[in-house]
A and B are shown apart, each in its own frame.
Chain A
Amino acid sequence: MTHVERRTPPRAVAVARRSLPIRTELAMLLRLLGLQGAWNYETMIGNGIGFCIEPALRLLPGGIHTPQFKAALARQSKYFNAHPYLASVAVGALARVELDGEPADKIERFRTALAGPLGSVGDRLIWAGWLPLSSWIALVVFGLGAEPMTVLVTFLGVYNVGHIALRAWGLRVGWNRGMRVAQALANPVLRRGPQVIAPLASFAAGVGVPLALMRVIGSGRALLGAVIVGAALGAFFLVRLRGRIEGWRLSLFLLAAFVLFAVAR
């Protein structure tokens, strides 16, 4: 009886890394800013995840021409959906598990499990919290009579301090925790952040509405009382409609009608 030795190609020996080289980390951080460059309805930000992880995958034993590199890149470029800023957590964690040489099926299960929470947390924290807060703060500054440059620096400064910090933190924490990254989502900023930001944004909105209104209204100031009553009724009407028509569409329709009235009269 002949003995046939069934050999599988040896797994590349992964080198346990405690930290990413600074150049690799910076390349990943820069690429994270373009994460949504190929956003589409089929793979969402999947290709972007592969694009961002690629600099880390170059550190796999043998570099970019090995089957391990190609298999990892193919795996990481499949469908993925998450908030674009918090996707940095996934990018860091997935880079870590790839370089740690975890089995492919385990990485794929982990990747699938990551997407959901990173989407909902990011939406509440950034789109419904940090962005409106930054806008309202800038509108308050505008309403106080600030110059254009001051308003722009305020808005872009406040917003991007949070934006860049979140992306950088996400990449770092994802890398440091790897498979155990779920614990990072219990971070107080992510868990309680939306509950803290929403009241702050509400206060800023309260201050900002009258201040911004007064600065923009100019010659219409004589009709201030009517504007306030009209705006309150309009807001009540929009809220009652519960999203059946968006405010910007209604604004376009009403303003276009006013133009026709003003021109054709």
Chain B
Amino acid sequence: MMTALLPLTLLGAVVGLDTVSFPQAMLSRPLVAATLGGAMIGDPMSGLIIGATLELIALETLPFGASRYPEWGSASVVGGALFAGATDTQPTAGAMILAMVAALATAWVGGWTMVRLRQLNAKWAARSRSGLDAGARGTVIGLQLKGMTADLIRGAALTALAVLVFAPLSNASLALWSADSRISRAFAVGIATSVAAGAAWKLFHASIWARWLFGAGLALGFAMVLR
């Protein structure tokens, strides 16, 4: 894991930047970022599994306007890498839960760092007030590039710090893991599905058609998995 720290940090920086600043192409969604994080460790499939689980949870938080939300990009890189980095001798379900905890905690801290960055951007804008009022081209472009660079550094620092903290913590916890594998996995998936179903309700509660379509989709989905 530590040998991949540099590529993971760079990836965390890019997807952290994508969250809001550039280009908001949703590289920062857990489904993408965790899979790429896993790929950096050599196991994109494990990254995808944790990414899909985190995506179910992330569907609840949508980046409306100035609302405060977790930063899923860098966090999902950490989650994907931790789960992909679990060895064959370690309990897989335990590694999954620990990767989810690490990702959710990093997303929380990441959301806070985004707020701090926005405050910093405001401070920089206030200091450049005279240049902005004068229509100085260099000031306008400079502020924009400064904000993006700071966001890139924010994502890199957050990812590196989270990997350095959670990788040893995860290994130590897995050495002591005693919960049944089936129960651990079922617990993690149950929680993610609860949040996703709650998020889906937000989509269809206002429309009778949408409710019926959700029900029809659910029936089809269950028919496909039970056949």
Q: Are B25 and A163 in contact (CB under 8 A)?
A: yes
How far does the Cβ of A131 sit from chain B's closest Cβ, in whole Å?
A: 7
Q: Are A251 and B214 in contact (CB under 8 A)?
A: no
Of chain A, the residue at the smallest CB distance from B177 is: A262
Q: Are A160 and B25 in contact (CB under 8 A)?
A: yes
Interface flags, B91-109, vs A, CB<8A=1, else 0: 0111001101100110110
Main secondary structure of the interface of B (DSSP, over half): helix
Interface flags, A194-214, vs B, CB<8A=1, else 0: 010011111111111111111
Q: Are A156 and B203 in contact (CB under 8 A)?
A: no
Q: Are B118 and A33 in contact (CB under 8 A)?
A: no
Scoring A77, A148, A149, A246 by chain B CB atoms within 10 A of each residue's CB, the highest score goes to A148
Report the separation of the CA atoms of residues A110 and B55 in the bound assembly, to the nearest whole angstrom.
40
Q: Are A214 and B220 in contact (CB under 8 A)?
A: no
Task: Supply 11 A–B pairs (Cβ within 8 Å), ascending by A.
Answer: A33-B24, A37-B148, A47-B144, A132-B62, A139-B55, A148-B47, A152-B32, A198-B203, A203-B216, A206-B214, A206-B215
How far does the Cβ of B114 sit from chain A's closest Cβ, in whole Å?
A: 9
Q: Are B66 and A41 in contact (CB under 8 A)?
A: yes
Show the binding face of B for A, using Cβ within 8 Å.
Answer: 20-27, 29, 31-32, 35, 38-39, 44-45, 47-49, 52-53, 55-66, 70, 92-94, 97-98, 100-101, 104-105, 107-108, 118-119, 121-122, 124-126, 132-137, 140-141, 143-148, 151, 173, 176-179, 181-204, 206-207, 209-211, 213-222, 224-225
10 closest cross-chain pairs (CB), A and B: A206-B217, A234-B194, A70-B135, A220-B186, A235-B197, A247-B195, A220-B185, A74-B135, A38-B147, A33-B23
Residues from chain B with a CB closer than 8 A to the CB of A231 are 190, 193-194, 197
With contact pairs A77-B132, A239-B198, A252-B101 given, residues A156 and B56 touching in the complex (Cβ less than 8 Å): no
With contact pairs A70-B134, A73-B140, A252-B105 given, residues A43 and B29 touching in the complex (Cβ less than 8 Å): no
Main secondary structure of the interface of A (DSSP, over half): helix
Scoring B118, B197, B201 by chain A CB atoms within 10 A of each residue's CB, the highest score goes to B197
Residues from chain A with a CB closer than 8 A to the CB of B93 are 218-220
How far does the Cβ of B152 sit from chain A's closest Cβ, in whole Å?
A: 10
With contact pairs A47-B144, A206-B214 given, residues A148 and B199 touching in the complex (Cβ less than 8 Å): no
Q: Are B23 and A255 in contact (CB under 8 A)?
A: no
With contact pairs A135-B55, A247-B195 given, residues A213 and B189 touching in the complex (Cβ less than 8 Å): yes
Of chain B, the residue at the smallest CB distance from A81 is: B65
Report the separation of the CA atoms of residues A143 and B23 in the bound assembly, to the nearest whole angstrom.
28
Residues from chain B with a CB closer than 8 A to the CB of A252 are 101, 104-105, 108
Answer whether residue A258 sits at the interface, using C-beta atoms and an 8 A cutoff: yes
With contact pairs A199-B204, A205-B214, A216-B53 given, residues A223 and B182 touching in the complex (Cβ less than 8 Å): yes
Q: Which of A71, A131, A237, A248 contacts B26 (CB 8 A)?
A: A131
Number of interface residues of A (CB under 8 A): 109
Question: What is the count of residue pairs linking A and B with beta-carbon distances less than 8 angstroms?
Answer: 356
Interface flags, A97-140, vs B, CB<8A=1, else 0: 00000000000000000000001000100011001101110110
Answer whether residue A28 sits at the interface, using C-beta atoms and an 8 A cutoff: no
Report the separation of the CA atoms of residues A42 and B57 in the bound assembly, to the nearest whole angstrom.
31
Q: Which of A3-11, A48-56, A184-192 contacts B (4 or more CB under 8 A)?
A: A48-56
Residues from chain A with a CB closer than 8 A to the CB of B100 are 251, 255
Report the separation of the CA atoms of residues A239 and B201 in the bound assembly, to the nearest whole angstrom.
8
Residues of A1-42 at the interface with B, using a CB-CB cut-off of 8 Å, are: 33-34, 36-42
Residues from chain A with a CB closer than 8 A to the CB of B220 are 206-207
Report the separation of the CA atoms of residues A100 and B28 in the bound assembly, to the nearest whole angstrom.
39
Residues from chain B with a CB closer than 8 A to the CB of A165 are none
How far does the Cβ of B218 sit from chain A's closest Cβ, in whole Å?
A: 4
Interface flags, A132-174, vs B, CB<8A=1, else 0: 1011101100111001110110011001100100000000000
Of chain A, the residue at the smallest CB distance from B147 is: A38
Residues of A225-253 at the interface with B, using a CB-CB cut-off of 8 Å, are: 226-227, 230-235, 237-239, 246-252
Report the separation of the CA atoms of residues A37 and B196 in the bound assembly, to the nearest whole angstrom.
30
Report the separation of the CA atoms of residues A152 and B34 in the bound assembly, to the nearest whole angstrom.
11
